[in-house]
Amino acid sequence: MHSSPHPSRRTVLGAAAAASTALALGVPGTASAAAADRRRVRALIDRMSIEEKIGQLFVMRVYGHSATAPDPADVAANQAEIGVSNAAELIAKYHVGGIIYFAWAHNTRDPHQIADLSNGIQRSSRIPLLISTDQEHGAVARVGSPATLFPGGMALGAGGSTKDARRAAAVAGAELAAMGITQDYAPVADVNVNPANPVIGVRSFGADPKAVAALVAAQVEGYQRAGVVATAKHFPGHGDTGTDSHFELPIITHSLEEWRRLDAPPFRAAIAAGIDSIMTAHILVPALDDSGDPATLSRPILTGILREELGYDGVVVTDSLGMEGVRQKYGDDRVPVLALKAGADQLLNPPVLETAWQGVLSAVKSGELTEERLDESLTRILMLKARRGLLDDPYVTHRGVDRTVGTRGHLADADRITERTVTLLANRGALPLPAHRRLLVVGADPAAPSGTGGPPTAVLGAALTGLGHTAQVLSTGTAPAQATIDRAVAAARDKDAVVVATYNVTGASTGQIALVAALVATGVPVVQLAIRNPYDVARLDGVAASLAAYGWTDVSMRAAARVMAGEVRPTGKLPVAVPAADDPSRTLYPVGWGLRY
């Protein structure tokens, strides 16, 4: 692979990558580079047709591992959803300014393939694209092993270290950049103050606005110093909702004062840290805009508050326009128009691109949207591409992938950082495990974003076995039936201890609650490990010990095993409060709780 397949593009666009990068990192003496970038961007915009300008505002999904030769099933999916066969045809037809990668779209098989796909996409366009993904780590990771995977936001919140958060983002950003992914929809800046939040939860750093703000700023610095566009989300704050904006339109009932105290600080910190982009939320916040429009379509929120009150002049990207939270009031042709009128710049992943694209074109032709308004967003987007060096050389190499992605040093960083996040909530003498215990490992096995290690209980069992114990593994799922519970009880009877991995135990999780109760009744010590939200312990009685890992990827399971075995001491502290199951106003474990041994 070669690093610059189109020397002519370098001549046309200019060569100021080093100066642009220095400017992005705050290096003095680069004002002239910014002025040069602005002149270059203005020249690019002046040469664009209206259709090209509209296309540059869209960020779209596309199926396939290759930009020009995807598998037949992916060609069929592209034809059905977009009306093109591949990424190259998508770019040629719609002039999109960005593409988003998903694992389910078969974009992220392995690092070399991702790099080749990125290069193919860039070769297909006169103007380099921003290639994005949701690589938050933890519960949301589109690129799996052998890339380095870190714990997610709430785990880092439990670790409490801005140094660790910055390092995790720097490593993650360097690996994404090596694969040609230039915009990461991370970090999550939502303050999770609602234990029933179904969509944020462990994706958030925690419930303390000040602590979340510090970790958000650290991650912004880490990502962007690695050369990747960071994206704080979801503005104006998605942390206090009991509904999921993928399926409904949540309402945030915070007053203006509460919003400024609870939700605003992480976004203010991100802006102060020089955040490149901010993602909107499909939520109603009546205290900020009582029109009934979601924040993504709200001019009072995106322009009045984000632009004017908070002083942000970077790129605003919508959350996915295919989510139901933004589609309930207006048609798919109107949503992108209203988002632009509200103050958004990038229009992410509409359900039907042709409908959205034509909607914007019609609005321009009617005068509802002016060409000057398009140019305003285009300038922000292209200046961002210039600052990140994309207008000079957007290509990557296999050699760069091999030097960067999943290196021994990066994997060691992930292990060390994750060890510091595991939180010991309760311990009645069961931990650390005495040497050479006979263990049963049971519990939920949600699909792991990490990729290759297998189900979480299998990874946990293997890790405990590797530490000198003998672990039998029995996957019981998130809703075990009575027959499964009976098998677990039978397997527990000759064991020294049982480790049970629980996953989002609520009042409706009767199977998981019954499983733990049946195991406790055997008299064998039960160690409970929450592998997603840490609130599970409030619904489980009689366990001998309880820990929170905040995630179920391989790196989190290995760290939890080392803590259980006493290889490392637990140092994590709860970044959210755990309320009593029967009385949410009563706190069982406060923010900052964490036992030691």
Return the active site residues. 319
Q: Which amino acid is at 307?
A: R
Query: Nearest to residue 119, comparing CAs of 406, 410, 399, 450?
Result: 399
C-alpha distance across the termini of the chain, in Å: 52
Tokens of residue 364, six digits? 């321009």
- Backbone φ and ψ of 450, nearest 5°: -70, -25
Distances (CA, A) of 131 to 120, 204, 206, 483: 12, 24, 29, 47
Q: How far apart are CA 265 and CA 307, in angstroms?
A: 15
Radius of gyration of the chain (CA): 24
Residue tagged 């919508």 (tokens)? 318
Q: What is the 3-state secondary structure (H, E, C) of 355-395?
A: HHHHHHHHHHHHCCCCHHHHHHHHHHHHHHHHHCCCCCCCC
CA dist 128 and 124 (Å) reads: 9
Q: Is the peptide bond before 187 cis (omega within 30 degrees of 0)?
A: yes
Q: How far is CA 9 from CA 3, 4, 42, 131, in A?
A: 13, 9, 16, 18
User: In 3-state terms, what secondary structure has residue 454?
Assistant: coil
- What is the spatial distance between Cα 295 and Cα 160, in angstroms, rounded to a whole number? 30
Q: Which of 495, 502, 447, 444 is nearest to 471 (CA)?
A: 495
Handedness of CA 572, 577, 580, 586 (dihedral sign): positive
Angle at 334 between CA 328 and CA 336, to 5 degrees: 100
587-589/578-579 β-pairing: antiparallel
Q: Which residues contact 583 (CB under 8 A, 6 or more apart)?
A: none
CA neighbor of 542 nearest in space, from 529, 565, 523: 523
Distance CA 132, CA 388 (A): 13
Token pair of 264 as six digits: 């605003």
Q: Do residues 560 and 433 make contact, with C-beta atoms less than 8 angstroms apart?
A: no
**Euclidean distance between CA atoms 403 and 175, whole angstroms:** 9
The sheet that has 470-475: what strands, in order across it? 423-427, 545-548, 526-530, 497-502, 438-443, 470-475
Centre a 10 Å sphere on the Cβ of residue 245 and count the other Cβ atoms it contains.
26
In three-state secondary structure terms, 65 is: coil
Q: Could you tell me how far CA 507 lies from the centroid of its own chain?
A: 28
Q: At what angle do helices 111-123 and 162-178 cross, to 10 degrees?
A: 60
> Structure tokens of 504?
């989002």
